[in-house]
Amino acid sequence: MFDFNYFTPTKVVFGKNAESHVAELIKEFGGTKILIHYGGGSVVRSGLLKRVTDILDAAGIGYVTLGGAVPNPHLGLVYEGIELCKKEKVDFLLAVGGGSAIDSAKAIGYGLANEGDVWDFYDYKRTAEGCVPVGVILTIAATGSEMSDSSVITKEEGLVKRGYSSDYGRPKFAIMNPELTMTLPDYQTACGCTDIMMHTMERYFTQGGNMEITDALAEGLLRTVKKNAVILRDNPKDYDARAEVMWAGSLAHNGLTGCGNDGGDWMTHKLEHELGGLYDVAHGAGLAAIWGSWARYVFKNCLPRFKRFALNVMEVENAGSDEDIALRGIEAMEDFYRSINMPTNLRELGVTATEDDLVLMAHKCAVGVGGEMGSARVLNEQDMLNIYRASM
Ligand code: NZQ
Ligand code: ZN
């Protein structure tokens, strides 16, 4: 077991009609002039945005709105948000939506609280010394950004997708009403379940430092999401399944399932971020398309963890060699992806990449991680290319 810091300052208000508390929460955290930041319009169509503005009007809280955060949110809108907030003297950012709106709001918060170009943080040139407070009304269970320290932004020039992590960016509050996720397309629900599981799996397939309590939490979380993803495939309006998945999404990425281990592998995410930047695919689907190829490439270097995963999460039969068991666990995971209509390779993801594209992605990925990275197995640029090739 390694030493660890666990910092989860986000106040969670969970359940039916939780969004009715938005005004009191903003006041509790000192907001007086708000930017309501959202995505492509689902919150307009569902009526949620109108409900929120009605609540703020009734509470006498001033606000401006900025929509347009796309999946794989763009730096250009972040700059626009920073200018708008300066002009309107905004002191609190309310993201209403999913990871894209939340991450874009966090980036706006960094841009407001720090001098200079906000992209510097995502480009690893310097670190932020503050962030304007962010609150969240979550509409999709997926990234865990509602409690996480990270924000992922795509710079349009060169299609560079990069994440920045800082405790300053952790939201002050997260309003989570599982009913708000019932309007999601089935595909996005499945993408979300995939991402949630992957956040725990990234921290699970590591070298050493594992704690019994962390493993038990991780395996329980993975089994729960796996089971409820299938329930939601068949009955998207199942409130309890929505709630299980929504809470799992936060716990999967607020640091809980990383306590005691070495911080995680994260290479499936890094490989996916290049796909998301270049082809604009849904994050969860991109992860599913890459994971099997990554797992087969690295499992022998991390065999005890892959065996444990196969037995305790995928519940395969405990028979044969450790390698057989581990491989059957990987196959069972891919069968699960197929069962919820997630891709298991780039072709199924709808990406037709040339060899040059794969070389470019591997290069950008290697540059993004500073040469090499990984815990289950440390990967260099050639390894990354090999995994992209295997995922075709
Ligand atoms: O944009 P709108 O119109 O709102 O539609 C969205 C979008 O098309 C739609 N949607 C969301 N809630 C809905 C809904 N449609 C109907 N009803 C609802 N209730 O779903 C689509 C996806 O939304 P998005 O916010 O893009 O999804 P997600 O939460 O998966 O966020 C993805 C982004 O987060 C990053 C990803 O890389 C990607 O850029 N990540 C952020 C992380 C973090 N900050 O901690 C960690 C993750 O690993 C991830 O990298
Ligand atoms: Zn993710």
Q: Is 183 in the pocket of ligand 1 (CB under 6 A)?
A: yes
Distance 253 CA to ligand 2 centre (A): 9
pLDDT in the model for residue 260: 94
CB hemisphere CA count around 355 (13 angstroms): 0
**Three-class secondary structure of residue 34 per DSSP:** strand
User: Is the pTM here over 0.85, yes or no?
Assistant: yes
pLDDT in the model for residue 263: 87
| ∠ CA 311-315-316, rounded to 5° | 80
Distance 86 CA to ligand 2 centre (A): 31
pLDDT in the model for residue 159: 86
Distance CA 38, CA 54 (A): 16
Q: One digit per residue, pLDDT tens: the chain, 392 residues?
A: 999 999 999 999 999 999 999 999 999 999 999 999 999 999 999 999 999 999 999 999 999 999 999 999 999 999 999 999 999 999 999 999 999 999 999 999 999 999 999 999 999 999 999 999 999 999 999 999 999 999 999 999 988 889 999 999 999 999 999 999 999 999 999 999 999 999 999 999 999 888 999 999 999 999 999 999 999 999 999 999 999 999 999 999 999 999 999 889 999 999 999 998 889 899 999 999 999 999 999 999 999 999 999 999 999 999 999 999 999 999 999 999 999 999 999 999 999 999 999 999 999 999 999 999 999 999 999 999 999 999 99
Query: How far apart are the two ends of the chain, measured CA to CA in Å?
Result: 37
Given ligand 1 and candidates 106, 152, 154, 256, which is best to mutate, with the most ligand atoms within 8 Å of its CB? Answer: 152
What CATH number should be reported for the domain whose range is 11-180?
3.40.50.1970
Q: Is 40 in the pocket of ligand 1 (CB under 6 A)?
A: yes
Closest alpha carbon to 70 in 28, 37, 114: 37
pLDDT in the model for residue 280: 86
Q: Is 103 in the pocket of ligand 1 (CB under 6 A)?
A: yes
Domain boundaries, the chain: 11-180, 184-390
Distance 272 CA to ligand 2 centre (A): 9
Going by CATH, does the domain composed of 184-390 fall within 1.20.1090.10? yes
Q: Is 374 in the pocket of ligand 1 (CB under 6 A)?
A: no
Which tokens is 269 given? 């995410």
pLDDT in the model for residue 77: 98
Distance CA 311, CA 304 (A): 11
Contact (Cβ atoms closer than 8 angstroms) between residue 384 and residue 366: yes
Distance CA 339, CA 249 (A): 20
Same fold: 11-180 with 184-390: no
